[in-house]
Structure 1
């Protein structure tokens, strides 16, 4: 229903979207809406069409699961292959868990790693190996009974699969999935996305409007979030999943290897009351049952810097839908696919899906920091001489924080991407503001110098897991 798509775009203000539907092994609908870049004229070359390439964000995980399933089917690895058998350098903080954690554990988010472990390291410019090496420093929740969504845990599982195949992940995905399915506009390489002439720019939501102000390079976590594709390409993959791993009469993925990915491996969202339904996670797929007692497979992808994506599959109805948008997630792709599922099952939309999803995503846009919305003290305690703060402060997890003085102000540099001015707040407390994938616009962090001769620096934003103290 074109009206519903356009109505969601009007309510949300997102610049562009593409939608496609698969049924009976065929693409029965594929259309683009809006523009690829909100700063350019609404002319033909700027209009979204079904071949426009979008970043997929975490929908990448479901593609990756089918790559892994292919390798399971050919016997290169199994879902139960220990990570250390392929990545002997990899470790978690518990040596017993290190020896036991498998490809399946990582690709179902049940390793015990904390929620979104390592994502902020990626924001600072650390590469895949550097982030995975630091997983050993993080606390663990109970193994195999705790669910916590981890992009780099998932990436570790995919890396083990790639090593088992003897080739880089990006090459493996091309060879066993994208080329056999004819997905010529799909890739796990950021450079491929940037090179596509028909490409949707990501738009961040700032000051009440969407702007293409940032470009997200997710190569460090490519298997979990770095793929890009068009809805025309995605329909080929959806049809393959609906056909139990086959495409054009050829078996791309063995059904026995694919089935575990599409069935519950852990409870991801426990029921809140006896009458409610729990949600589950397979290997790279959300697995749930609808109010019509149909099994539903789905996944969403979200980049704060400018991508919102969703697919939804109803296997018993032999139907699937994919919606790709080029803006900070606002619930549009989720609402549209939920509306579609209602129409398939009941002939009518039964919930205000956009109202529900937009409220949930609004929370994700809230800025971070204890001083957000607060005014500086009217009579702050003066800072010490700025030169006394200058130096390099060590931290095993985040790497060195470098404090310099330039033109009468302090600056903080951390990793290869963060370089910001420090604004005096009160005494030895300074603040800094920045925007990253995990720090929405308006985020404010304190930087507190302490100890003898101010030899300790605590960065509030980076104090996750009590790892935010740096020593001079």
Structure 2
């Protein structure tokens, strides 16, 4: 742990280890905030982000046990307005398909509706959006991680149970397990006195950033939990859905757990040089990733929000579970390096310096990203002398699922603003040919983007295609999926100005 804090700037870390039915370790390290200096302990709450997906799957499993739905029920049975781009897929899309990342949609499709936080998109907007999102692969043939479909899964839970997703998670999972400090969402946090705050170490300096919050995303990544509470979640998984002092209670059956742990969607992977750690398969189940590690089957999931990274890993054959919660990005990828080190210690393999390997990988990625960024902004600087007629661009543009954006003039500068996700507001700089670089006001995660225009015969802009500038941009900034077409709502432009 000492080397972890030495390697790269870190704020706080919490670790839980469960082995053979006992909590072997549950402890906090570092601080909840570099500003307050308050220490992390075993009860400090962290955003567990996409580790929430296992809870969403478990909630559906409870309803399956109660014969209120089936994994293979069609989504339209519960949400009649659900509609995919292809009518055949709409008709055949099941509850199981909501959870297995094999919809045919692209990586992170539609995530701009929820990233960054602060948008006004609703569950009905999400449900409506799928009919406009073109698939990039055949249905049920390829793994592409998806958050929005888990949001739909949360809506299924609401409609079947009659309870809001957060109420169901609290009443049927957190409270029975005694996860008393945890909360199903940021909005339901009762006590924020021991709450880890997010930090960034992007440029080698540790700074606190804004907490991500969007109630729409609860079923995809909304839960807050601690090392202590997550140890109870690990115990539940290792005890086949049983809990209580003598495992006398059953949250969900072993039958539905086997469904959750079954590999449905193959995931491609790289062959690593060290033969000990080579995967033979990687796949996704229902809220869990299934793989092999040093000859053992593992169940795992990662979680990532701005300034919050976490990892949950289970090795059923060893009756071992590990959770690492952190509040720093990238933080030396300590949620991964610590998990690997703990697992290796129980597997009895020769000690490997995961921290140094992660540090090298991060430096290599940063070098690549920095070189691209420097080249882009050098080109922008050289292009400053080019005269741009702002009137050729000013107007309102609309995408079917993302809504309207405005291009407007402010202070002799050209600006871009999403009307539904106002954090996506930024100055536009001419780059080259028909492309501008947009520098967002939002800086908690690097997500600046290119905006490339098409024109009519008079040289007026008619549409915009976008993509992230950084080769390492988070996949949730899916600018490439936008198809912004000019609609010119003059009154909107006037109000913004």
**Same fold, judged at TM 0.5 (above):** yes
Aligned to 1:445, which of 442, 450, 453?
Answer: 450
What is the rounded CA distance, in whole Å, between the counterparts of 1:92 and 1:296 in structure 2?
Answer: 33
* Partner-residue secondary structure (3-state), 1:400: strand
Q: 1:424 to 1:373 in 2, by over 3 A?
A: closer
Instruction: Give the Cα separation in 1 of the matches to 2:384 and 2:140.
Output: 52
Change (3 A) 1:360 1:109: farther
- Deviation of 1:218 after TM superposition, in Å, equals 3.9
What is the TM-score of this pair, normalised by structure 2? 0.85
Q: Superposed, which structure 2 residues align to 1:226-237 within 5 Å?
A: 226-237=222-233
Please report how far the alpha carbon of residue 116 of structure 1 lies from its aligned counterpart in structure 2 after TM superposition. Answer: 0.8
C-alpha contact 1:380 1:427 (8 A) present in aligned 2:
no
Offset at residue 27 of structure 1 (A): 1.6
Q: Deviations over 1:51-81 (max 9, x none)?
A: 0000011111112222221121111222112
User: Aligned ranges for residues 301-340 of structure 1 at < 5 Å?
Assistant: 301-303=303-305, 305-329=306-330, 330-340=332-342
Distance apart, 1:353 and its partner CA: 2.6
* Cα distance in 1 between the residues matched to 2:279 and 2:228: 36
CA contact (8 A) 2:32 2:40 kept: yes
Asked if 1 retains the 8 angstrom alpha-carbon contact of 2:383 and 2:431, the reply is no
Q: Are 2:261 and 2:285, in contact at CA under 8 Å, matched by a contact in 1? A: yes
State the partner residue of 1:31: 27
8 A contact 1:76–1:164 mirrored in 2: yes
Q: Secondary structure at the match of 2:438?
A: strand
Q: What is aligned with 1:256?
A: 255
Q: 5+ unaligned residues in a row in structure 2: which ranges? A: 468-477, 489-497
Structure 1 length-normalised TM? 0.89
Alpha-carbon separation, structure 1, partners of 2:313 and 2:13: 16
Alignment of 1:143-162 (within 5 A): 143-162=139-158
**How do 1:121-200 and structure 2 match up within 5 A?**
121-123=113-115, 125=119, 126-140=121-135, 141-193=137-189, 195-200=191-196
Bigger shift: residues 444-453 or 95-104: 444-453
Contact persistence 2:50–2:304 (CA under 8 A): yes
In the other structure, the counterpart of 2:492 is none
Q: Work out the CA distance in 2 between the residues paired with 1:127 and 1:9.
A: 40
SS in structure 2 of the partner of residue 81 of structure 1:
coil
> Relative to structure 1, is the Cα distance of residues 357 and 450 closer, same or farther in structure 2, using a 3 angstrom cutoff?
same
- Residue 474 of structure 2 corresponds to none
Q: For the residues of structure 1 that align with 2:174 and 2:29, how far apart are their CA atoms?
A: 25
CA shift in 2, pair 1:360/1:220, >3 Å: farther
The count of corresponding residues between Structure 1 and Structure 2 is: 459
1:16 touches 1:35 (CA, 8 Å); kept in 2?
Answer: yes
Relative to structure 1, the CA distance from residue 36 to residue 150 in structure 2 (aligned partners, 3 Å threshold; closer, same or farther) is: same
Distance in 1, matches of 2:162 and 2:440, equals 40
Distance between the aligned counterparts of 1:100 and 1:372, measured in 2? 45
Specify every segment of 5 or more residues in structure 1 that has no aligned partner in the other structure, as ranges: none
Give the corresponding residue for 1:102.
94
* Cross-structure match for 1:280: 283
Distance 1:67 1:370, change over 3 A: farther
Distance 1:58 1:421 in 2: 32
**Does the alignment pair 1:467 with 2:463?**
no
Runs of 4+ in 1 over 6 A off after TM superposition: 362-365, 367-371
- 2:386 paired residue number: 381
Residues 282-302 of structure 1: CA deviation (Å, up to 9, x unaligned): 1011111222x2221111111
